[in-house]
A and B are shown apart, each in its own frame.
Chain A
Amino acid sequence: MYRETEIIKEATPGSNGEAGVFTINVGPQHPATHGVLHLVITLSGETILKVEPHLGYIHRSIEKMCESLTYRQFIYVTSRMDYLSAHINNHACALCVEKGMQIEVPPRAQVIRVLMDELTRIASHELWWGAMAMDLGAFTPFFHAFRERESINDIMEETCGARLTMNYMVPGGVMQDIHPNFQNRVKEFLRLYKRKIHEYDELVTGNIIFQNRMKGIGLLTPEDAVSYGCSGPTARGSGVSSDIRKVLPYEIYDKLEFDEVLETGCDSFARYVVRIREMQQSIRIIEQLIDTIPEGDFQAKTKAVLKLPKGEFYTRVETARGELGVYIVSEGGTTPYRIKFRSPGFSNLSVLDHIARGSKIGDLVAMMGTLDLVIPDIDR
Chain B
Amino acid sequence: MFLTDYIKDVTGAVKSLATGMKRTLYYFTHHKEIITQEYPDNRDTLVLPERFKGEVVMPHDEKNEHRCTGCTACELACPNGTIKVITKFDISPEGKKKKAIDKLVYHLELCTMCNLCVEACPSDAIKMAQTFEHSVYDRKQLTKILNHPGSKIMEGVE
Contacts of B151 in A (CB 8 A): none
B113/A208 in contact, CB under 8 A: no
B35/A72 in contact, CB under 8 A: no
Q: Which 3 A-B pairs have the closest CB atoms?
A: A73-B79, A208-B13, A161-B51
Residues in A100-159 with C-beta less than 8 Å from chain B: 140, 147, 150, 157-159
Q: Which of B22, B51, B79: most chain A Cβ within 10 A? A: B79
Question: Interface on A for B, CB 8 Å cutoff?
Answer: 69, 72-74, 76-77, 140, 147, 150, 157-162, 165, 167, 170, 175-176, 179, 199, 202-204, 206-209, 211
Contacts of A140 in B (CB 8 A): 24
Measured CA separation A170–B120 after assembly (Å) = 12
B52 at the interface (CB under 8 A from A): yes
B51/A199 in contact, CB under 8 A: no
B23 at the interface (CB under 8 A from A): yes
Measured CA separation A233–B74 after assembly (Å) = 41
CB distance from A164 to the nearest CB of B (A): 11
Contacts of B86 in A (CB 8 A): none
A69/B51 in contact, CB under 8 A: no
Contacts of B35 in A (CB 8 A): 147, 150
Question: Could you say which of B16, B17, B112 contacts A76, with CB atoms under 8 Å apart?
Answer: B112
Q: Quick one: given A73-B79, A140-B24, A202-B19, are A175 and B119 in contact (CB under 8 Å)?
A: yes
Question: Could you say which of A160, A202, A209 contacts B51, with CB atoms under 8 Å apart?
Answer: A160
Q: Quick one: given A72-B77, A73-B77, A73-B79, are A157 and B112 in contact (CB under 8 Å)?
A: no
Measured CA separation A179–B17 after assembly (Å) = 43
Q: Quick one: given A77-B79, A158-B49, A179-B49, are A207 and B20 in contact (CB under 8 Å)?
A: yes
Measured CA separation A209–B79 after assembly (Å) = 50
B115/A175 in contact, CB under 8 A: yes
B114 at the interface (CB under 8 A from A): yes
Measured CA separation A211–B15 after assembly (Å) = 14
Residues in B118-158 with C-beta less than 8 Å from chain A: 119, 128
Contacts of B12 in A (CB 8 A): 208
